[in-house]
Chains A and B, each alone.
Chain A
Amino acid sequence: NAGVTQTPKFQVLKTGQSMTLQCAQDMNHNSMYWYRQDPGMGLRLIYYSASEGTTDKGEVPNGYNVSRLNKREFSLRLESAAPSQTSVYFCASSPRSGSGYTFGSGTRLTVV
């Protein structure tokens, strides 16, 4: 029972490069989320997908795009990476309201 799996775990990008962060859950959860966590700070919601086929902006969506490929997978894309996007990115999933989230172990991204 893997839960929420994120790949890669670590990544270094040059400014202007693009990349996609992958997230998959095997719990049949409806909703999925992408957060970023900066040093000493809390979690900020980038995008979420309430159910398969829908995506919505969160608190800090600029510079990112998402795709809910199917019920299991929710990817986050950086089209042109900037140093301000250096952060730890967490994917999470939830089955329904009131049940809380299950988080992945994170992707540590550095943009130089």
Chain B
Amino acid sequence: GQQLNQSPQSMFIQEGEDVSMNCTSSSIFNTWLWYKQDPGEGPVLLIALYKAGELTSNGRLTAQFGITRKDSFLNISASIPSDVGIYFCAGQLFKAAGNKLTFGGGTRVLVKP
């Protein structure tokens, strides 16, 4: 089946740093989504991307839909402590059965001690 490879699996951030993470697939997707999960909570949608090459921002977050439609990137600028959490990418095919999403394994963002 389809798989999404998300990297890095974990990263440490220092306040003020810019960080990046990415997601790659062996298959083409029509929609890319990025979610954030805070400890003890469910994932929350951050950004949705619908067109190849699209670049979309949500505050300090910027995500891009890769031109090949097989990858997506998320950047966080000027990190703050509340950016800690798990970030998931997800891809969706147009008219996927049951609107199913394929999720990446997550990038765990931690604060540098």
**Chain A residues in contact with chain B, CB under 8 A?**
4, 30-31, 33, 41-43, 45, 48-50, 56, 58-59, 90, 92, 94, 96-106
Contact = CB atoms under 8 A, between A and B. Distances in A.
Interface size class of B (residues with CB under 8 A): 20 to 34
A101 B41 contact: no
B31 A42 contact: no
A42 B96 contact: no
Contact of A42 (B92, B94, B103): B103
A90 B98 contact: no
A105 B41 contact: yes
Given A50-B99, A100-B33, A42 B45 contact: no
A31 B98 contact: yes
Contacts of B106: 41-42
Interface string B89-103: 010101111111101
